[in-house]
Chains A and B, each alone.
Chain A
Amino acid sequence: MHSPLTWDIDIRRRFEHAGRRFDLQVRFASHARRLILFGPSGAGKSQTLKVIAGLTTPDTGHVRLAGRTLWDHRAGIHMPTPERRLGYVFQDYALFPHLTVAQNVGFGVTRGARNPGRHATPPQVLRWLSAFDLAPLAHHYPEQLSGGQRQRTALARALVTEPHALLLDEPFAALDTVLRARLRHELAEWLDRLAVPMILITHDPADVDHLGDEVLTLSEGRVLPAGGATVATV
């Protein structure tokens, strides 16, 4: 295969906090469109995602997505977060509590000093709202939504900006077991239809079976060799 790697990540970062030290040394290269980072909490999964998004700066290494260099220590490339054009779904969705569903979804459409208006909703926002069955909730506030509706809002908000890649941080952790199974199914269908490459991080083995093309296991800040520690041991 000569097309550029979808994911080409090699990052090192030392965290020191309150006398405790944590070394993140994550390295992987893959053509997989749907990649899963699997591992227990504290393994460095979220930090890896934050480094890819530019929310955490690594000490050395590089971050390349589909041939685009987002960060390269040696070449001195430090693309700021807003220019990376990524979709990020946070664990608790991080919806803006002062904005309606429609304003949340339209947030990334306007880059200036003002939030999207309460009434004039741009066409691409309307499209994503109806695609995710959110149109009837367009004028609701996040605190009025159920867990599943919040997740769909967060996903729509990320996708409306047409991101080059989607980063999903434990998208089901905030939901109860029954809802989790249903939404996992729903998300799997969605991701099948989207051409966007994605990384999903999880500590739930069930996510691994349903959502990924390739699975990487993280432990104590490192990617374990394939076929090393198995899913079942976590």
Chain B
Amino acid sequence: MGTAWVPLALTLKVAGWATLLNLVLGVAVGFLLARKQFPGRDVLDALLTLPMVMPPTVLGYYLLVLIGRRGPLGGWLDATFGIQLIFTWQGAVIAATIVAFPLVFKASRAAFESVDPQLEQAACVLGVPEWAVFLRVTLPLAWRGVMAGLLLAFARATGEFGATLMVAGSIPGRTQTLSIAVYEAVQAGQDHVANSLVLITSVTCIAVLLIAGRLAPGRVAGQF
């Protein structure tokens, strides 16, 4: 059982960061798509949804090409700051963030679209500037939907396997998350380790889904 806590702590760290990043990115993109009219909006939505439908290994391969040491972004980071993302937990965060991103921005978009624009107009006429209207009216009214999306993203990031394995590998204690540790344990024939890891993962996921369901009844099940 003792060996299970290291991958669990790492998984929570990776999923936590991925969720936090998605709070900022997903809410911003969701709001943009819900409230602003611009050409190519539907194409953008489709492109951003791709991580949800593409095989995680394909996504991982794209990421390797992009942030690998010879990739355009990875090469620049290495040359400028000496930062390498491949085979690090930060690399795992990037993989988990991208895989979970559609869940957040889709939920946020739907939540923002359900807020009556007339309420924002009423706030604006009362003398409150646009940015404050977002914080005082739009976000509080959309918050439950956003939170439901974030919790699903957390669950998805917790269970991330394919893209994480391709980008961050399986280094015990450094990049070996729960789901990867399960795979390694089964491969090595360590059934008792696999059993406890699977149990921990299941309990975490069920807890997250229960909280998500309570936050937005009907919405989570209907949306995805």
A: residues with CB less than 8 A from B are 50, 53, 55, 81-88, 90, 92, 94, 96-98, 107-108, 111-115, 157-158, 161
Contact = CB atoms under 8 A, between A and B. Distances in A.
Given A81-B125, A84-B125, A113-B136, 18 more contacts: A55-B124, A82-B128, A90-B121, A94-B118, A96-B119, A97-B119, A98-B140, A107-B128, A108-B127, A111-B127, A111-B132, A113-B132, A113-B135, A114-B136, A115-B136, A157-B126, A158-B126, A161-B126
B137 interface: yes
> What 6 A-B pairs come out closest when comparing CB atoms?
A108-B126, A94-B122, A88-B125, A81-B124, A94-B118, A82-B127
A115 B139 CA distance: 12
Which of A82, A84, A157 has the most CB atoms of chain B within a 10 A radius of its CB?
A82
B25 interface: no
B216 interface: no
The majority secondary structure among interface residues of chain B is helix
Interface residues of B, number: 20
Which of B116, B121, B125, B129 has the most CB atoms of chain A within a 10 A radius of its CB?
B125
B20 interface: no
Interface of B: 116, 118-119, 121-132, 135-137, 140-141
B116 A85 contact: no
A97 B141 contact: yes
A81 B122 CA distance: 10
Contacts, number: 65
A193 to B, nearest CB: 22
Nearest to A56: B121
11 contacts: A82-B126, A88-B122, A90-B122, A94-B116, A94-B121, A94-B122, A96-B122, A97-B141, A107-B136, A111-B129, A113-B131
A87 B127 CA distance: 10
A140 B153 CA distance: 35
A161 B127 contact: yes
Contacts of B122: 88, 90, 94, 96
B119 A94 contact: yes
Contacts of A86: 125
